[in-house]
Amino acid sequence: MGKMDGKVALITGGASGLGAEDARVLAREGAQVVITDVQDELGAQVAAEIPGCLYLHHDVRDEARWTEVVVATLDRFGRIDTLVNNAGMVRFGTIEDLSYEDFRFQTDVMLGGTFLGCRVAIPHMSRDGCGSIVNMASVAALKGISTIPAYTAAKAGIIAMTRSIAVHCREQAYRIRVNAIAPGGIVTPMTAQALAELPQDAAGLDQINAHGMGQPSDVAKMVLYLACDDGRHITGTCITIDNGETMA
């Protein structure tokens, strides 16, 4: 018996990096998986690797599309047990040179997208009596990094909002657990692009160099733990996976 047998997982940002690995790991443990992204070609490739996987084009800033994605998931699989709000991106710039447009874009994708995902999915998860939501934060939310103020703000907001949503679910007697994960440096396409754009003496790179980069599977295994019954007594928390990066 797989740990996710009989469960259905919806994962945003599933075309590459952490989201794609989350999908593979949950599927190997028996989950029926829906992945969404705006990278359609990559998303279709990942879905083709996973038996029964459904790929949907999805801009997580679009409230109406969120409803369509949830309805499509229910139409295909009949339920949603796990929601992984993973979609994210980064644009660099300090508080003095980052445009407000870029600030809004990043916060709309990550913080806004997570809000919409939880708001649309929770009524359907509560109907079935239980569920697990995993929101992807970052160690950037736990320390100051001057070159990514919008990214850090969005990820910090995700951590705080995760706690608030967990309390709401408890108050409503929903058996829905809501947690966040804060990865450090992980080998993903987004991280590779970020490292290529930054000068070698950029703030924050010293920590990555000192502590090394993790693999997507390091995070996906924690997503599995929180999604399955192993994590049944965990809600309202943020779990850091950073090889001690935030200890410095």
Which residue is catalytic, options 55, 100, 151, 174? 151
**Exposed (0-12), middle (13-18) or buried (19+): which is 59, by Cβ within 10 Å?**
middle
- Contact assessment for residue 88 and residue 190, using Cβ atoms and an 8 Å cutoff: yes
Structure tokens at 191: 């991280």
**Residues linked to residue 178 through DSSP beta bridges, in sequence order:** 133
What is the rounded CA–CA span in Å between residue 70 and residue 73? 5
Q: In what order do the strands lie in the sheet with 238-241?
A: 54-57, 32-37, 8-12, 82-85, 131-136, 176-183, 238-241
> Going by C-beta distance under 8 Å and a sequence separation of 6 or more, which residues neighbour residue 247?
none
At 193 the three-state DSSP class reads helix
- For the question of residue 100 being annotated catalytic, the response is no
Structure tokens at 60: 């997580």
Q: Which of 190, 159, 173, 186 is nearest to 243 (CA)?
A: 186
Per-residue burial over 122-144, b if 16 or more Cβ lie within 10 Å, else e, is bebbbeeeebbbbbbbbbbbbee
- Contact assessment for residue 190 and residue 89, using Cβ atoms and an 8 Å cutoff: yes
Active site residues: 151
